[in-house]
Amino acid sequence: MGDGALGSDHINYLILRYLQEAGHESAAKALHQDWHRPQEYRDPEKLPFAPLVKQHELVHIIQDAIFHDQLLAQVTNQSRRFNLTTRHFAHRASTDTRPSTTTQHDFPLPPAKRSRKSNDSLNLDAMHIDSQPQDPHQEPHRHPTPDLPEPGYVPTTSSATQTDKKLKSKSETMYWALDQPDANIMHALWNPHLSQSTRLLTVGESLCRFYDLPHQTKNPLQRAHHTDAETMTKGSVITAACWHPSGRYATCALDSTRRLPGGRHESVRSMFDATVQGTKRLYDLQGYLLQHSAIVVALRYNNSGTRLLSVSTNMKRGLVEIWDASQPAASLDPVAVKLFNQPVIDAVWASDDSIVVCGENRLDFYQIRNASLTNGADANGDSFASTGTKNFALQYSHPTDKQWDKVRYDSVNGVVAATSSSDDCTILLAKTTPRWVPLSGFPIEGPASKRATAMAFQPLDTANNTGPNVPRRLAITHDSGRVRVYRVTPSLCETLHEFTMGPHEAALALSWSPTGSCLAVASEEAVKIWDLNSGSVPLLTWRAAATHWYQGDENNLPNGDETGDEPSLNWDAEGKRLIFAVGRKMAAIRLLMPSKTAQPKDEFGVTD
C-alpha cells in the first residue's frame, strides 16, 4: 500500500474489508453506500491498492501498531500511548474525556493469559457456560470478562447477520488452544457413532489426544476431559487417522525418528489402534518394500468396518496395504500388499472388496480377492507382492498423464471423482462395463486459478434407504473461494449451487452434515453453513473472535508473513456441532436455529 500516509480511501477500504470479513454485512453495505468515491472507482475492489490488501489487514496494522508502541515504551522508558490490551487503565484527566453513549460492557477487556497446564495423560478443563439471555441484535462475541484466569474453554454466543434479513441464526462457540507449544493439529475428527458423539480425536504434530466435550447446557459446572492416547516425542507426527465405523477406537499412523549408534537418526513408521484407555492393537507395516523413508498418507475403513486400507509413499514409489480388521489379534499382518513403481497418494473403498487408487499417472480400480497370482508383475507393469490370503486384481486402469491426489467414490451411483492440484483438474468417471468414462456435463479441465482444495460426496442417509440411480450431491471447494455443488447421476452431472466464502478468502475445507442436507465450508478463520434445501443464502456465517481465537496461542497471532495452516472441519454424528481447528487453535461451534422461523426440526434438532 506504499510508504506514504493513508488517505480516506485507504481507511474506508480497510474498514469495509474488516466489516465484510467479520460478517457485519449490513454495516458494510451502509459504508459502501455512504462512501463517496471518484466515478472511475465506484467499485472499491477496483481501487489501485485493493489487490495489495491481504486478509485481516486492518487487524494486522492495529496489532503491529500496538506491538510498536509497546517496544517504544520499553526503549524510551516511558508509558505506553495505547493501553487497550492491558488490564489496568491509567486514569486520564477530565480534559481527555469525552461523552459516550456506550456502557462499561461494550468494550470488555481481554481475558487474562491462560496458564500453561501440564501434559499429564488426563486433564480436566473447566468450561464456563454463558447462561445470560442474548440480545439477537448484539454484535458477536461481546462478553464482559471477570477478573479470573481464562478457562480452558471460552463459550460465546453470536448472532450471524445474513443478506436475507428475515433469517438470523445464532451459534454458541467454545474456544481453546493446545497446551503443548510444539503441537500442531492436522486432523480433528468427531466419533462417528451416536452413542459417543461427544468424543473428539485430535492428531498432528506431537499430538494424539482424545477430548470429551459435553453438549452445551446451562450448567456452569461442566468439565471437559482430555486424554493423551500416545506419548509423542518432539518431531513425531500422526500423518493419518480415522475412526472405526463402530466408534470403539481410532486407527493412527505415526511417523517418528530414533537415534542410532553414532548419532544418526532413522525414520520409523508405526500404526496402532488407540482408545481413551491407551493403545489397543499394533499393525505390522511392510514399509521396507519402499526402501526409503515413507509415510502413511491415508487410512480408511470399508463401510462394514471389516477391512482397513493404508496408503504409503516416499514420493518415488507407493504402497497400499489391506488388513482384516475383524480379527481380534493384538498385532495384525496385512492380508494383501501392493507395491507401485510411482507415487500413490490416495485410495478409497468402492465396495467391501474393491478399491480405487490414485497417484502419479494413475487412476486404477482393483478387486481384493483370494490369492491366485504369483509374485511378479501384473498387467500394468507394477511390481506385485502379497502376504496372507488376498491379492489385488486389476479391473480397469484409466488412461491418464496427470498426478491425482484426491479420490472419492459414490457407492449409490458408482461414480468416481478425482482431483489433481498440480494440473488444476477434476474428473468424474462413471462405469460403463467394462470401462469407466468421463461423466457428461462435468468440465474435465478446471478453470484457471480455481484449484480444488477439498471434495466430498454427501454421506449416505441411513435413515432413508437410498436406492440405485438416485441423484447425489458432490461438493468441491477451490482456493479462489468458490464452492460448487453438483447433482450427480450415473449418466449426467449438473451444477446445483455456486457459493463463495468472501473476497480474497480461500475455501480450504468442507464437511457435510450427517443427513447431507447442510454443507459447511471453512477458510483459515471463518466457517459458512448452507442449507441446500432452502437456497443459496448461508444459514450461518461464523468468524473467529480474535479476543478468544488467539488467547493462549500468542505464538500464532495474525501477521503479514503467516504461511497459513490448513484447517480441519468436521461435523459431529448428531449434526449439531462442528469442530474447526487451525494450527494449535480449536473451536466447537453449535448452531442454534432462529426461533421466529417456522422450520421443522432438522438434524440440528434445536430451536432457540
CA 530 from centre of chain: 16
**How do residues 8-18 score in pLDDT, each as one tens digit?**
888 888 898 88
What is the model's pLDDT at position 227? Answer: 92
**How do residues 37-94 score in pLDDT, each as one tens digit?**
776 677 788 788 888 888 888 888 888 888 888 888 877 877 888 776 554 444 333 3
Is the predicted pLDDT of residue 99 greater than 70, yes or no?
no
What is the model's pLDDT at position 576? Answer: 92
The total of other beta-carbon atoms located within 10 Å of residue 325's CB is 19
Region of 414 please: left (phi>0), alpha (psi -120 to 50) or beta: left
Rounded CA separation 245/326 (Å)? 12
Nearest Cα to Cα of residue 528 among 515, 540, 517 = 540
Q: What's the first-to-final CA gap in the chain, in angstroms?
A: 45
All structural domains of the chain, each given as residue ranges with its CATH number in brackets, are 1-77 (1.20.960.30), 229-360+362-399 (2.130.10.10), 406-500 (2.40.10)
Distances (CA, A) of 76 to 79, 84, 568: 9, 20, 44
Rounded CA separation 54/534 (Å)? 33
Structural contact between residues 317 and 341, judged by C-beta atoms closer than 8 angstroms: yes
What is the model's pLDDT at position 143? Answer: 37
Burial class of residue 543 in the structure, from the number of CB atoms within 10 Å of its CB (0-12 exposed, 13-18 middle, 19+ buried): buried
Question: 3-class SS at 10?
Answer: helix
Between 117-126, 384-393, 528-537, the lowest mean confidence (pLDDT) is in 117-126
DSSP codes, 58-112: HHHHHHHHHHHHHHHHHHHT---S--TTSSSPPPPPGGG-------TTSSPPPPB
Tell me if the pTM is above 0.75.
no
Question: What confidence tier does 104 reach under pLDDT thresholds 50, 70, 90?
Answer: very low
**How do residues 305-361 score in pLDDT, each as one tens digit?**
999 999 999 888 999 999 999 988 878 889 999 999 999 999 999 999 999 999 999
Q: Are strands 331-332 and 278-283 parallel, antiparallel or unpaired?
A: parallel
Structural contact between residues 13 and 45, judged by C-beta atoms closer than 8 angstroms: no
What is the model's pLDDT at position 247? Answer: 96
**392 membership: H or E segment, kind and range:** strand 390-397
**How do residues 418-447 score in pLDDT, each as one tens digit?**
999 888 889 999 988 778 999 887 776 554
The three-point CA angle 538-544-142 to 5° equals 100
C-alpha cell belonging to residue 499 = 457459493
Share of the chain above pLDDT 70, in %: 72
367, amino acid identity: Q
Structural contact between residues 61 and 78, judged by C-beta atoms closer than 8 angstroms: no
Residues facing 526 on adjacent strands: 543
Residues 6+ apart with CB under 8 A from 252: 203, 208, 229, 230, 238, 240, 241, 271, 272, 273, 274, 299
Residues facing 582 on adjacent strands: 585
Is the predicted pLDDT of residue 598 greater than 50, yes or no?
no
Structural contact between residues 418 and 409, judged by C-beta atoms closer than 8 angstroms: no
**How do residues 175-232 score in pLDDT, each as one tens digit?**
888 888 889 999 999 999 999 999 999 999 999 999 999 876 554 445 567 899 888 8
What is the model's pLDDT at position 371? Answer: 74
Angle of helix 57-76 relative to helix 8-21, nearest 10 degrees, comes to 110
Share of the chain above pLDDT 90, in %: 40
**20 membership: H or E segment, kind and range:** helix 8-21
Rounded CA separation 346/358 (Å)? 5
Question: Over the Cα atoms of the chain, what is R_g?
Answer: 26
Mean of the per-residue pLDDT values for the chain? 77
Rounded CA separation 608/581 (Å)? 26
Rounded CA separation 325/329 (Å)? 9
